[in-house]
Structure 1
Amino acid sequence: MGTKPTDNGREIPWLDNMVRPVVRLHPAPGPAGPTDSHLGGPMLWPRHEPWPQCDGAGHRGSLDLTDEQVRGLPTPFAAGVQLYRHDFPELPFPDGTDVLQVFLCPLVHDGHWGPDVRLVWRAAGQVTDPLADQPVPVLVDPMYAFRPCVFNPCRANEYPMMCDVPRELLYELEFAKADGFDHANHETWPCLGDATKIGGWTRWFASDPYDMDCPDCGATRVQLLALAAHEDECAECDQPTGEHVGWEFIGGSGALNVLVCPKDVRHTMKLQIE
């Protein structure tokens, strides 16, 4: 996870300027309540506040249903992830908030070909009358099913993939000069592993970074959260790895990455499935 790339074994002087902190969440099945940080458990939600609902406008055919059968079908969002500031102070909480709630519409959507996402930043102390009987979606694509999990976090540093490094810096490296960048030995630049995590860098697999500029202010969006189907071995801790992370996602592999504006997390986010 935190393996530092080298230039054919030599240190890369400017690379430390690109390091990002990451929190690997290591979700595992367990009891989760509305006052806990968790995946797939009940949210701390005010009784009189409308529950997030997808209008179905972006639904694609799934579950053996056609586009016509699912488009425009309103459905409540599923409770996805809840993260409290006291557990994860690394999150960019807006002033006056201390809980991040991530809701998902567990059907395929246009654009990113995965579930839609809503982010809610709130102050836990303002929820004085919580909703106990919480809505659940009627239709759930099996690829996006998940079960209640608790977190066993560890913290580390993460280095970018080659595609996130400016080309002018890569061209200075000896392995790129020797072989030409397009044919360079990428074994000297380790790939990021699969992990459910806060922060860090995006594990680009099916594509290179694109559409990263915030449409509201022009800042380059950064990774807030990744929800992965599997966990690769973690060098920073001895948490279990493998199949049991609570998701069957993208046909059993891949991750849903949520990228946000570093200037204002309430600006337009980007969803990327890799």
Structure 2
Amino acid sequence: MAGPMLWPSGEPWPRCQLPHMVEIERPATAEDLELFRRGDEEVARLADRLSALPPEPGSRGMPAATAAQLLRMLASASANRPRTTVRTSAMAVPPKPVPMVPVVQLRAADIPHARFPEGTDLLQILWCPHWHNAVPGMDEHHRGPAPMVCWRDSTKLTHHATPPDGAGTDGRSVLSTCVISPEQITDYPDTEALPDPLQERLEDWHDSLGPDPGFDYRNDLAAAPGLKAGGWPYWPHGPRPVGCACGADRDLLLSIPNGERGTPSWTPLEDQTRAVEGGEEFHHPTGFHGARDAVHIFSCRQDPAHPVQIYVE
């Protein structure tokens, strides 16, 4: 993951020229100056309220008078600061194309259940890590990184390539380099994706197990959490449409979660103790924080070479 990729000789590293969220500096307007003034006045009023509070003997927190003094210093510094410009974020075309960053490279042997286009045995996924509001071929409500999927014949790739220096400035969507060891499992559709009659049957089945069976369908059998290729996606807000423009359905190609946390039933036996004691490094080995739950990438069931669909949950 996120490491050097097998690459065709002479093929340039891909770059993104789509509009994305960038930090810009623009001239301050009258409305901006009015907002600044109101903010300074509110800070000053808060300082006055704090300074009027009586001392609290034995309190371990910052004395109200000290907090009031600090707030007045902040308000004074803010009011005296030149305010000719404002720094903000906006959707804009980058001044120069942004290098894509590698996400994952998988061989057909790693994911034998996946459908590869004829003549290919290597899947590569890259993306522009910045936040996009519109990506050609994506859902109109897409918000997130802009993906690029490459299906290649590894026998024709002669060397490894990495992004140019300086690529990957948005830390939330830039993954940490690591090696993965795929393990094949079986999961089932998320409860929300099941027909109502089947959901009712599941509820009846779960109720028949007693008041505390120690597991439930959604958390312990459906939509396995964590980084995975294939399987079923977890839909925290209900299923999304994933049909391809050709009319065929799409299948989950890759799911990149915001962390590897899950119920103990999904944690490998050798990691059970570490799952309890582990910290950030264990629960976020990929370093990905670019979604509340996960990024799901779907490929066409009929022809995986068709454009993919991405959802940020």
Whether the TM-score (by the shorter chain) exceeds 0.5 is yes
Q: TM-score, normalised by structure 1?
A: 0.71
Query: 2:89 matched to 1:50?
Result: no
Query: 2:287 matched to 1:247?
Result: yes
Rounded to whole Å, the distance in 2 between the matches of 1:137 and 1:264 is 35
- Seen in structure 2, the aligned counterparts of structure 1 residues 66 and 189 have a Cα distance that, compared at 3 Å, is same
Query: For residue 56 of structure 1, what is the amino acid of its counterpart?
Result: L
Deviation at 1:248, TM superposition (A): 3.1
Native 8 Å contact 1:144 1:249 kept in 2: yes
Map 1:1-274 onto structure 2 (within 5 A): 39-57=1-19, 59-61=20-22, 66-67=89-90, 70-71=93-94, 73-110=96-133, 111-128=141-158, 130-132=159-161, 134-135=163-164, 138=167, 140-171=169-200, 175=204, 188-191=216-219, 192-205=223-236, 207-215=237-245, 217-232=246-261, 233=264, 234-239=266-271, 241=275, 242-250=282-290, 253-274=292-313
Q: Between Structure 1 and Structure 2, how many residues are aligned?
A: 222
Q: Greater helix share, 1 or 2?
A: 2
Rounded to whole Å, the distance in 1 between the matches of 2:13 and 2:95 is 18
Q: Deviations over 1:56-89 (max 9, x none)?
A: 23x1236976325555642111111000123332
- Seen in structure 2, the aligned counterparts of structure 1 residues 54 and 170 have a Cα distance that, compared at 3 Å, is same
Where does residue 26 of structure 1 map in the other structure? none
The structure with the largest alpha-carbon Rg is 2
- Seen in structure 2, the aligned counterparts of structure 1 residues 168 and 136 have a Cα distance that, compared at 3 Å, is farther
Whose relative contact order is higher, 1 or 2, with alpha carbons under 8 Å and at least 6 apart?
Answer: 1
Instruction: Report the secondary structure of 1:199's partner residue.
Output: coil
Instruction: Report the secondary structure of 2:255's partner residue.
Output: strand
Native 8 Å contact 1:199 1:224 kept in 2: yes
Q: Deviations over 1:112-155 (max 9, x none)?
A: 32111110000011113x25464356452121122210113222
Rounded to whole Å, the distance in 1 between the matches of 2:101 and 2:124 is 11
Percent identity among equivalent residues? Answer: 31
Instruction: Report the secondary structure of 2:21's partner residue.
Output: coil
Native 8 Å contact 1:84 1:98 kept in 2: yes
Native 8 Å contact 1:194 1:255 kept in 2: no
Deviation at 1:246, TM superposition (A): 1.7
Deviation at 1:237, TM superposition (A): 4.2
Where does residue 55 of structure 2 map in the other structure? none
Gaps of 5+ in 1: 1-38, 179-186
Deviation at 1:267, TM superposition (A): 1.6
Q: Deviations over 1:201-246 (max 9, x none)?
A: 10111x211222111x222211111111211243454245442412
Query: For residue 195 of structure 2, what is the amino acid of its counterpart?
Result: P
Query: For residue 112 of structure 1, what is the amino acid of its counterpart?
Result: H
- Seen in structure 2, the aligned counterparts of structure 1 residues 81 and 135 have a Cα distance that, compared at 3 Å, is same
Q: TM-score, normalised by structure 2?
A: 0.63
Cα RMSD, aligned residues only: 2.8
Query: For residue 214 of structure 1, what is the amino acid of its counterpart?
Result: C
Q: Deviations over 1:7-57 (max 9, x none)?
A: xxxxxxxxxxxxxxxxxxxxxxxxxxxxxxxx0100101131232221123
- Seen in structure 2, the aligned counterparts of structure 1 residues 133 and 140 have a Cα distance that, compared at 3 Å, is closer
Gaps of 5+ in 2: 25-86, 134-140, 208-214, 276-281
Query: For residue 189 of structure 1, what is the amino acid of its counterpart?
Result: Y
